Structure 1
Amino acid sequence: MSAITAPMKRGWGLKQMGGMWGECAAEFLGTCVLILFGDGVVAMAVAALPGSGRAQSATTIFLASGDWLLITWGWAFAVCFGVYIAGGVTGAHLNPAVTLAFAVRRKFPWRKVLPYSLSQIVGAFVGAALVWWNYHDSINAYDHAAGKAGADLVNGHTNATFSIFATFPSPAFNGSMWGPLLDQIIGTALLLLCIAALVDARNTIVKANLGPLLIGFAVAAIGMSFGANAGYAINPARDLGPRILAYFAGFGELALPGTVHGPGGFSGYMWVPIVGPLIGGVVGIVIYDVVIGRALDARAALGAPEEAPEQVPPIDDDID
């Protein structure tokens, strides 16, 4: 199928959309789509499938690792298509941690960091609002059934349905913020390490515009490897925008400031998925530049050709 370019139209603010407004609009829409798919797949797993009679019961979730794989692959496709949508305009940061890391190590203009980040947060808020609009009946049905089954409710909602919108730490941390903070730093460092490698023309070149798909694969890998400790936000906008929406939707202190009382609870958690990814993103891209970037620069300066892999001579099986 051949590519089709939409015809140019007069008016429509084309001059303005060619500059910062257009870039912010692209970051807004790309992040909105990311959240629509990402929060949408969690809503499916947590509320819509049980509520539709397609699960063992009205409150059955996460019986096996397959449920987690549904979410990790859903988020992978969310990132992939969000990047494809906005990539031609901005390169599709869709994540303040990416924007900050590129400003620190990729000469991205500092004056654009705040506009991009705000656009991403607003896009995430709007995406979460659309998910809430579409799934609020299923969410309320799940919370009602869980409450009748004895689950703890905050303003009529459970921690499970809150997880559709934002992240929270495992009870294993016993309310400590240091473990989840480290988790977010490691996860986001891995994300930026992979992004830096995939967009680096000096490294193995990603062909046929497969970069967004492979970035999605990286997100899936992070979710499968580091997802359970703190929900692998690895993106301040992805967590903060939907968290604000959840607060206005009635989740109360579950959302802001991010507090759950009782054994294994936590207090004021909302800063962790903001600060952790911002630190981790810079750490990841610096590690890439120090280790891989310097090696690539050194090889280019020396004019060293790529070494072919060692050839193993064939084995002569003939018997005299």
Structure 2
Amino acid sequence: MDKVRRTLRVTDSLTRECMGEFLGTFVLLCFGCSAAAQVKTSQETKGQFLSVNLAFSVGVMSAMYLCGGVSGAHLNPAVSLSFCALGRLAWGKLLPYCLAQLLGAYTASALVFFVYHDAIMQFSGGNLTVFGPTETASIFATYPSEYLSLGSSFLDQVVGTAMLLLCILPLDEERNNPAPSALIPPIVAGVVLGISMSMSANCGAAINPARDLGPRLFTLTAGWGTEVFTPCQEQNWNSGK
């Protein structure tokens, strides 16, 4: 067994870090998208909007404990980019980190789809749609509200992501009364929960490109079609609303 363990051990540090980011983002999306699937397909009889917010927060905390010691548990390209800009992550690691996060989110979405396949098909009548009363695309990715303009959508995401970074980057700053390292995951989870509960009405508070793009790419390839990249406003204008 020791020989097998030594043979399978990954010695390259960047590969280990990317595997950590993949696994952490995978866990995050498994919690969050599973909760969204449960709430949506049960028509809120097995959870409500708050359930999804809490599940994503628990997913963040669990993922940080899981891979924080390996990769830093960025779980988010915006976090990785910020760490590069601050000199806390080598720029050469940015693309591998982002790809690992994106792949983790995609894979988690696929798993959630298979786990909730029967429920999704029963709820949607077998039609995988992006819009309408039986749409199921929002289980995986976030979509703007009908009233929202493109400019307001952009501002919403910038503000939400900025709030996330503003609150989490100082947590381990020695000049700013740093939080104990073991408590950083639940603190970050609390920040994510706060943002989700206060800034999700417009666009769903994705605040994480990998969290949104990975599942959106999955829905594109799994049968929802190219409409997953179509703003809901355009769909409503085309249907005369």
Superposed CA RMSD in Å reads 2.7
Note if contact 2:129-2:136 (Cα within 8 Å) is conserved in structure 1.
no
1 CA distance for matches of 2:27 and 2:230?
25
Note if contact 2:130-2:138 (Cα within 8 Å) is conserved in structure 1.
no
* Mapping 1:1-80, distance limit 5 Å: 9-16=5-12, 19-47=13-41, 49-50=42-43, 55=45, 67-80=48-61
Pick the aligned partner of 2:73 from 84, 87, 92: 92
Secondary structure in structure 2 of the residue aligned to 1:9: helix
Following superposition, the deviation at residue 155 of structure 1 comes to 8.0
TM-score, normalized by length of structure 1?
Answer: 0.68
- Assess, with a 3 A threshold, how the Cα gap between structure 1 residues 113 and 202 changes in structure 2: closer, same or farther: same
Q: Which amino acid aligns with 1:135?
A: Y
| Residue 162 (structure 2) aligns with | 189
| Residue 168 (structure 1) aligns with | 143
Secondary structure in structure 1 of the residue aligned to 2:118: helix
Note if contact 1:26-1:90 (Cα within 8 Å) is conserved in structure 2.
yes
| Residue 207 (structure 1) aligns with | 180
Structure 2 unaligned regions, length at least 5: none
| Residue 196 (structure 2) aligns with | 223
CA radius of gyration, larger in: 1
Following superposition, the deviation at residue 264 of structure 1 comes to 6.4
Following superposition, the deviation at residue 137 of structure 1 comes to 1.1
Pick the aligned partner of 1:135 from 100, 116, 122: 116
Q: Deviations over 1:42-78 (max 9, x none)?
A: 111111x34xxx83xxxxx9xxxx8221111111111
Structure 1 unaligned regions, length at least 5: 1-5, 56-60, 148-152, 266-320
Q: Deviations over 1:193-219 (max 9, x none)?
A: 111121223222322601011101100
Note if contact 1:167-1:231 (Cα within 8 Å) is conserved in structure 2.
yes
- The sequence identity of aligned pairs, in percent, is 40
Following superposition, the deviation at residue 126 of structure 1 comes to 0.4
| Residue 3 (structure 1) aligns with | none
Following superposition, the deviation at residue 101 of structure 1 comes to 0.8
| Residue 99 (structure 2) aligns with | 118
Count of matched residue pairs: 237
Which structure features the higher share of helix residues?
Answer: 2
Following superposition, the deviation at residue 172 of structure 1 comes to 1.3
TM-score, normalized by length of structure 2?
Answer: 0.89
Q: Which amino acid aligns with 1:165?
A: F
Stretch deviating more after TM superposition (197-206 or 118-127): 197-206
